[in-house]
Every structure is written in C-alpha cells, then in structure tokens.
Amino acid sequence: MAIFELWYNTPTLEKISENMELFDLIDGNNERFVNVIVDCIGIDDLLTYRIPEDIDIQIGDILSVPLGNRQVGAIALQICDTTQVTDTTTEIKSVIAVVSSGIFPKTYWEMLTLTADYYRTPLMQTIKTALPPKLLDQSHYRIKVKRENIIPEKQERESYKLPKAAQMVWEFLQEHQDNSKGISRRYIYQKLGRYTSSGLKELQKLAWIETILELPNRPKPKYEDIVILLKAPDSELTERQIEVLTILQHQGGECLKTQLYKLAKTTSSMVQNLADKGYLVISKQESLRLGGKSHTVTRDRPKDLNANQDAALQQILKAIADCHATHFLLHGVTGSGKTEVYLQAIAPVLESGKSALVLVPEIGLTPQLTDRFRARFGDAKVSVYHSQLSDGERFDTWRLMLAGEAQVVIGTRSAVFAPLSNLGLIVMDEEHDPSFKQDRPQPCYHARTIAIWRSQLENVPLILGSATPSAETLFAQKENNSIYLEMPNRIGNKPMPPIEIVDMRDEFKAGNYSILSRKLQEAIAEMLENKKQGILFIHRRGYSTFVSCRSCGYVAECPNCDVSLSYHDPINPTAHQPKSAHLRCHYCNYTQIQPKSCPQCGSPYFKHFGSGTQKVEQELAKLFPNIRLIRFDSDTTQNKDRHRLLIDQFRSGESDLLVGTQMLTKGLDIPQVTLVGVVSADGLLNFSDYRAGERAAQTLLQVAGRAGRGEEEGRVIMQTYTPEHPAIQAVQQYRLDEFMQTELAMREALSYPPKGQMVLIHLSSEQEQAVEKSAEELASYLRQLANNWDVLGATPAAITKVSNRYRWQILLKFAPEVLPDVPSLEELRMLVNSKAVRVAIDVDPLTIL
Ligand code: ADP
Ligand code: ZN
Ligand code: ZN
C-alpha cells in the first residue's frame, strides 16, 4: 500500500494498528459488553455496560446508559467480551438504548485512537481535546412515542401495570402526542422531576418510545431583492426611464432594489414597469452576515482561472471525483490565487452532498477568508470553528456538524477533529504554520499529521497549501508520490515586492544608534507623505534569547552543537545556574559566563538582544510625532473582536502603520500596504533551534508577501546584523527552494526531523531537587532501554523556572523508520512515580527550548 508510505516520518496506519485490538469485534455467543465514554464532566474513565441481547451496537453509536440513578448520554468506544472487563467488583449495568447511530464518521474513533497512541496520551484525554464536553447533554434529547410498536387494545391494559413513574410519563406523553417532533426531555423533567428518568427507562424497555438527539437548526438564509440590467436603455423609453436604467448601468448593471430606489429616487412601480418591458429583472439574493454584521454583498462568483490555477484545479477535481486520498502540495506565492483554487475545488464537493474541512492557522486575523467562503457558498453552508468561540457558539457549531448536511467548516487546529460524517475534501492552508501544533495540554498533536491520517482513513484528497512549505511536506513531496502543484506568479503577474537588506552594522558604524535604519526611516517618511500604509514587523520578544555583537554581528554559538547559545538571566539563580548572566546550549547543556566584550572584535556592545513592540513604538513616536500607529500583538489583541476591530481600523485608513509581531504574517490582505519593514531579522535567525533557519525564511517571506498586493508596487526593507546568512539571502532572492534543499541536507547529516524523529519529555516541579533527580533517573532508565534511540539530557529547560516550577527535559532522537517503543504518558508517570513532579510528552516537538 504505497499510499501509507507517503508520510515517511509519520508512522503508517498499519504499523500503529498492529497493537490495536480496539476495533476487533469479538464474536461468540456469550454476553457482550461495551466500553463507553459518558458525557459528564468529571468522569475520566471508560465505563463498561452490558449489551442487552436485542440491541445492536456499533462503535461510535450514541447510547443512553444508567449512571447512578440518572440516565446519561454515552458514546460506544469498544465492544468486548467478559474477559476484557477488569472491574468485577461492581455490578455491570445494561445499556438502555441506542439513541443515534451513524452520526460520527465511521473512522472517527479510529482516528482518535491513532492520535492517542501516536502522541502517547490516554484515549480519554484525546477525546476531550476532540469533542466539547456535554455534547450529548440530556437536555438536548427529544422523546417520541413509537406508535408502530403499540397495539392499542393491549396498551390500555398494560399501562395500568406500569410502575408509577412510567405511568406518569406515559400519561404526559399521551397528553402531548400531537407534537410530531416529540417532546423535549428537559420539558418533561421540568414537569415531572425525578420521575422522568426511571419512567422513561421503563417505557424505553417496552420500546414504546424512542429518544432522539436534538440537533440545532441552521440559521435560515435571508434574501433580498436585487435588480439586474438586461438591456441597455433605448429610444423606446421615456427620459425618466432612461435615467433610472443609466443609474443601474453605473452600478455595474446590478444592485439591491432598495438601493436603486434611493439612488434613482424612484418607486417600485417604475422598476416593475421596466421589468415588464424586459429591460431588467428582479431577483432574490442571499443577504450574508459578513464579519458578524449583516451585509448584503453581491454573491461572489467563481473567477476565470489562470493557466496555473486551472492546471492545479483539474488534478484536484480528479482526485475528488475518484475519492482518492491523494496528497497535494499547492505551492503558490502569496497572492497567487490559492484560495480561489480551494473555493473552486470545494464547490463540486458541496454539490455532491459532501462536506469540506478547511484548516487555517488563525481565524480572528483573517476575517476576509471566512467572508470569501460565505460570499461564495452562502452563510448557511459555512461554519467557523476556532478556540475563541464562546462555549455556546462552539457547542452549536459542533452539533451543526453532527447534523450531517453538506457544509464547509473553516477552523483552526482542533477542527481537524470536526465530526463531519460525509467528508469530501480536506484543505490545510499555510500548512507550514507552527500553530497547527498543539503545545498544551496533551496530546501535543500536529493537525497536519492527523489530517494526513484522516485523508487516508476516509479516502479523501488533502490539499496542503503554502507559499513557504515546511521541510516535512517538501521532503514527503520529494520522496513520495504526492502531487506537487506550483503557482509561482501573483494574479495578474503583479511583481513580488523587491526586498532590500539593510546591514545594521553599517548603521552602528555611521553613528546611527536608533533601532530604525536611515533607509527605513526615509521609507516611512515617504510613505507618510504619499498617504500610503505600512506594516512594521518585530519578532516575538520571547524569541530574543541569543547574544550578539552590535559592532561586528558575531553571535555566540555552542562549540558542540550547531545552534546559538541562549541567554540566561541571573534573576532567578538556581543551583544549576551561575549567579551571573550566562549562556547555555539547550541541546548539550554547555554553559559559559556571558563575556563582557565581543570575543571576535572586542567591542563592549556584546549584548542580549531584544526590541519589543513597545520600544519600537516609542522610537517611532520620537521620529514621527504625527504618525498614527496601531500596535498589533498578543497584548493588544486579547479578545476576538479586538483583532477584527484593529484590522478594520487599519484597512479603513485610520492609521498609517501597523506595528506587530508574528500575527502579522498570517494571511493579512490589505491592498493599500506598500511598505513592509522588518525591524530585526536576527531574532528569528538565532533562535537556538535547528528549525530556526526554516522558520525565519518562512516568516520573512510571509511578511514580505503583505506588501504590494494592490495597484501600487510594494517595497520591503529588512534590517539585519547578518546579511550574509543563507536564510536572508534566500529570502531576498525569493529562492526558498534551494535554501530548503540545503536545510534538508543539514538535517540529514544531524538526523534532525524530517530525516530523523524526536520525542521530548518535559518534567517540572516546585521542588528543584525532586525534578532534577527524577529527570536524571528517567534519562538513565531510558538509556538502559537502548531502544535504538539517542537519549539527550536530562538538561534544564531554557527557561529553567516558570511560575515557581523548575523545568527539565529529556530528548529522544531516533531514525524515522525505527519507531521505538516510546513510553506513554501513563507509563512515564509510573516511572517517575513522584507526586511532586509533573511529566509531559511531546512527540515530534517543533521547538526544543
Ligand atoms: P492566495 O490565497 O494565494 O494569497 P488569493 O486566492 O487570495 O491568493 O488571490 C489573490 C487575489 O487575486 C484575491 O483578491 C483574489 O480574489 C484574486 N484572484 C484569484 N484568482 C483570480 C483569477 N483567476 N482572476 C482574477 N482574480 C483572481
Ligand atoms: Zn564583535
Ligand atoms: Zn551544545
């Protein structure tokens, strides 16, 4: 099965499934049991129930089970025989009924089990990541009388024999039997209270009633009248009629009816009259809720594709039609029309009654993206799912997905678990983006890895789109049979903005001590004069842990490893940290005292680097007293509406310059932006991580891609102390491919991912000695296992102490084909066996800090 070999670095489904007996149905004539998760907050274990003979249960079915004296919702996860039931002390209760079958995709639980297994996390914890709590809440059930099961003569007699509770419920249902949709369980509960649960149970046993999971209704689309011009005005018409039609012509031949009334100061009889004469037509158009507000915009129609887009689309359409799990790398520069390709690939998926999943790094920042999907497919077909939804919104979105209609779900990382039952296509936009990897809590999954599994399990194509593909995807693309689709030009052959590099060492020599070079200052002044807008990018503050010389650009590096040393502050001295500022390697633990002057040129300006947004803001205010700034970083964009507000403000021209961090790289499409400045590229480059080069190049190219998207040409100015760095050189020439080939060669030499695999184990504790002891013992234990892996560490983490917890880590490194038996989170907890020490495990870590 060649397709499973696709993802070199990701264990194949087959390999993982070997040890998995989860989905084996045990046949036999004995009693059968089902392990379920119950949908109650606070219950973290699988519970076992007996399966009554007359009930047929499939994995993934939604069940009704007794819990204490309640009846709760549950999901069937494992079906097993007696021998697998470990708990023999308590009585095993029986399943009451199957509420719904076939709601989740068939392979859904297999995907979750793979995730749990691969990321070494307990299944329950994985399920909690995937599904919101209380999804199956009792209040969302309806009870329906099953007329067909009731023989009228018998029913009269039997209902008197029922226990009191059942009688009460039965009477209540009889009184309300007109309601064909059934009666809400919550309503019954309000009326009958504690009798409800046991009463329903009895009736369910008799099969007189059924319980239905109630799914919310989709918002109904709203429509408004629009007027479309059919024929140009001619001499047949009165002067006034010609006037009205000419106004319509000036609106591009199409506008809202109410808008035409206003513009032409006319009435409905006039418009109707023109329609009767055949000059125009009145038609209905969906009113869309764009950006949270209700807007009526012209429904967006598919664009005529250029040759590259069309070539890409045709291949994708073929895979969709064949239901083939083909993986595409859609490598298109920013503004090359990738989104348009996604839209046109999704249209036939929806038409065939299937759904599409679109994964994006950030939603709050790219409202335009969701707007484009809504404008193309209509509100009712598009759901948005991301972490900033309120609990209620999230819950409704999940339940809409369960409803099984053809739809597009646009979501961030966790939406990869969207329970869409009839999937036809998965798109992952900006596939290189690190936010697809979950940090905390476990499982530390990568949405790309899961998307690859999901595509294989459900036989749907997967499009990985990016202007700057990750090493993983490029490597898989090179080695295997995924399809490479290239779109090297911007739409309309708009040029990519030229990138100018400023050597900050020259600024220093010339006596300019400002963090803004003369060139960037001039460019900002010019931009202000021409009333254009700009973006100023600053690397994230937390990343500025390296030390460099402001005079010669020398960066302190580890003599043993190919990474820069990290600066450690003496503020929180520990037994392992010298009391003065020092530099440390996070891979081998090499440590040295921070030199007082540059080892290369002797300059005293050999310092810990950093230029936060605030500092830049102050500098700008000093240089350009009238400049209107918007600061855009995690401090200023805490809540979801704030993102949009700031971007909208900027878009509408209320500000000249957007100053911000990493967030600016994500899909911001503002045509007026002509200038992009990068305050210091070095913070990205010297990140003490083997991935620093790749990430720097990706980030810088993405930032550069924000310039010159409109009519005006763009300009990018990048400041750096190391203009000769290969990543900077590659970015300046827009030649990422060669750079990535060199990167891959380097990774191969050092067995770093994707040419090797890593697992990072974190330990932390409030007790310094306890965590050190645990970490060292665990490391030596893992070394003894000699599982074809290298055990690096234990070493203290880069930030040794966070919220009073001391942090250590152990890195396991092995060849990707090896797949050693890495202990699971539970096993690690047992090995560490200390209440004082917390353990976490990160498979395929993106950063090793
Ligand atoms: P990307 O996703 O690669 O950044 P987009 O799909 O956003 O690119 O396209 C950039 C711009 O070009 C958008 O405004 C889009 O509407 C427009 N566009 C895309 N494809 C076409 C096309 N075939 N013809 C005309 N305009 C297009
Ligand atoms: Zn120096
Ligand atoms: Zn080292």
Q: Name the residue type at position 142.
A: R
Model confidence at 5, pLDDT cuts 50, 70, 90, reads: very low
- Residue 6 falls inside a structural domain: no
**Environment class of 670 (CB within 10 Å of its CB; exposed 0-12, middle 13-18, buried 19+):** middle
What pLDDT is stored for residue 40 in this prediction? 62
| Mean pLDDT across 329-351 | 93
Tens of pLDDT, residues 122-170: 887 888 788 766 666 555 677 888 777 777 777 777 777 788 888 888 8
Q: Both 470 and 398 in a single domain? A: yes
Q: Is 242 in the pocket of ligand 1 (CB under 6 A)?
A: no
Mutate to test the pocket of ligand 1, among 303, 410, 491 (most ligand atoms within 8 A of CB): 491
**Could you tell me which residue, 65 or 518, shows the higher pLDDT?**
518
Total structural domains within the chain: 7
Please state, in angstroms and rounded to a whole number, the distance separating the CA atoms of residues 839 and 828.
7
Assigned token pair, 527: 């931009």
**Domain shared by 87 and 77, yes or no:** yes
Q: Which of 81, 104, 130 is the last residue of a domain?
A: 130
Domain that holds residue 406: 307-493
466 lines ligand 1 (CB under 6 A): no
Kindly report, residue by residue over 381-407, the tens digit of the pLDDT: 888 887 777 777 777 777 778 777 889
Q: 357 vs 82, 426, 596, 825, CA distance in Å? A: 39, 5, 54, 30
Per-position DSSP letters for 612-679, written without gaps between them: -HHHHHHHHHHH-TT--EEEESTTT--SHHHHHHHHHHHHTTS-SEEEESGGGGS----TTEEEEEES
Q: Which residues contact 137 (CB under 8 A, 6 or more apart)?
A: 39, 73
466 with 554, same domain? no
What values do phi and psi take at 240, rounded to 5?
-65, -45
481 in helix, strand or coil? coil
28 and 145 both lie in a single domain: no
- The answer to whether position 3 is within a domain reads no
How far is C-alpha 97 from the geometric centre of its chain's CA atoms? 35
- Residues 331, 469, single domain; the answer is yes
What DSSP character marks residue 211? E
- Calculate ∠ Cα 15-846-662, nearest 5°: 140
pLDDT of residue 1: 30
Atom 8 in ligand 1: which residue has the minimum CA distance? 337
Between the CA of 304 and the centroid of ligand 1 the distance, in Å, is 10
Amino acid at 56: D
Residue 297 counted as domain residue: no
Q: Decide: 507 in ligand 1 pocket, CB within 6 A.
A: no
> What is the CA angle 42-46-52, rounded to 5?
120
- Annotated binding site for Zn(2+), which residues? 549, 552, 558, 561, 585, 588, 598, 601
Mean pLDDT estimate for the chain? 80
Q: How far apart are CA 327 and CA 453, in angstroms?
A: 11
| Token pair 């994500």: residue | 666
Report pLDDT digits (tens) over 750-784.
788 888 888 999 999 888 889 999 999 999 998 88
Same domain, 241 and 356: no
Say yes or no: CB of residue 705 within 6 Å of ligand 1. Answer: no
Taking the centre of ligand 1 as the mean of its atom positions, its distance from the CA of residue 490, in whole angstroms, is 8
Residue % of the chain over a pLDDT of 70:
81
* Region class of 5: left (phi > 0), else alpha (psi between -120 and 50), else beta: alpha
**Average pLDDT of the residues in 494-507:** 89
Q: What CATH number is associated with residue 344? A: 3.40.50.300
**Percent helix, percent strand, percent coil in the chain, to nearest 5:** 35, 20, 40
Q: Ligand 1, from 300, 340, 485, 494: best to mutate by most atoms within 8 Å of Cβ? A: 340
Q: Is residue 1 part of a domain?
A: no
Does 642 contact ligand 1 (Cβ within 6 A)?
Answer: no
Tell me how far the alpha carbon of residue 557 lies from the centroid of ligand 3, in angstroms. 8
CA of 823 relative to ligand 3 center, distance in Å: 26
Question: Mapping DSSP to helix (H, G, I), strand (E, B) and coil, where does residue 408 land?
Answer: strand
CATH of residue 823's domain is 3.30.70.600
Asked, for residue 299, whether it belongs to a domain, the answer is: no
Examine the fold and report which residue of 750, 765, 800 is the final residue of a domain before the chain moves on: 750
pLDDT tens track for 33-43? 888 887 665 56
Q: Ligand 1 pocket, 339 CB below 6 A?
A: yes
Q: Are residues 351 and 440 in the same domain?
A: yes
Q: Do the domain assignments include residue 578?
A: yes
Q: Are 487 and 500 contained in the same domain?
A: no
Q: Whose CA is nearest to atom 9 of ligand 1?
A: 337
- Give domain status of residue 2, yes or no: no
**In the predicted model, what is the mean pLDDT of residues 74-81?**
81
Q: Does 135 fall in a domain?
A: no
Q: Do residues 467 and 597 both lie within one domain? A: no
pLDDT at 134: 62
Buried b (16+ CB within 10 A) or exposed e, 471-482: bbbbbbbeeeeb
Of 477, 493, 509, the residue at which a domain comes to its end is 493
Claim to verify: residue 351 and residue 268 sit in the same structural domain: no
Question: Does 88 score more than 90 pLDDT?
Answer: no
State whether 578 and 487 are in the same domain: no
Residues 660 and 807 in one domain: no
Ligand number nearest CA of 551 is 2
pLDDT for the residue 453: 93
Give the per-residue pLDDT at 614: 63
CATH number at residue 111: 3.40.1440.60
Q: Who has greater pLDDT, 799 or 435?
A: 435
